[in-house]
Amino acid sequence: MRTRLILAAAALLTLATSGSMAQPGSRGMMNDRYYQRVAAEYVQLYLRRNPTQYEVLLVTNQLRSGMSAHAVQANILGSDEYYRANNRNLNAWAQRVVSDTLGRRITFYELGLLQNLAVSGGRSAAALLVLDSRVQWSSPPWWWGY
């Protein structure tokens, strides 16, 4: 129930902050189809199930309104459902975030740091930091400087 309330609030905020809805025509429809496909892929990848129509709409609206793809993914990774899938265990959650996003095992140092970041700044913010580290190929690891 709490997850549905959070998703509903996020949907309302997304709709309220979006400057314009998709314009009629082939270009707007093509973007909507792309966003819907991306939304379905994110839910299948991280939550390991098919998305509901509501979730597709929510993620589509977030992407359409300009939210970055990493921020959308971080919201899913920080969600209560993703956390529950890891037995509400922050250790297991951190390991799975790194495995799902970076495709490797987490180091001992990264585990402690990611847990601290999740506790102090929230799971979504910690997941966003890990996701953003993927685009910096030639830079130090995501935890460098902490």
Instruction: Note the pTM of the prediction, 2 decimals.
Output: 0.74
**Cα-trace Rg, the chain:** 16
- The mean pLDDT of 37-52, rounded to a whole number, is 96
Average pLDDT, the chain: 81
The arithmetic mean of pLDDT across residues 112-139, rounded, is 87
Q: What is the CB neighbour count within 10 angstroms for residue 10?
A: 15
Task: Determine contact, residues 74/124, Cβ cutoff 8 Å.
Answer: yes
pLDDT value at position 3?
53
- Residue with the larger pLDDT of the pair 35 and 21: 35
- Distance in angstroms (rounded) separating the CA atoms of residues 90 and 95: 9
Instruction: Note every long-range contact of 89-93, with CB atoms under 8 Å and residues 24 or more positions apart, other chains counting.
Output: 90/115, 90/118, 90/119, 91/115, 93/118, 93/123
pLDDT over 80 (residue 91): yes
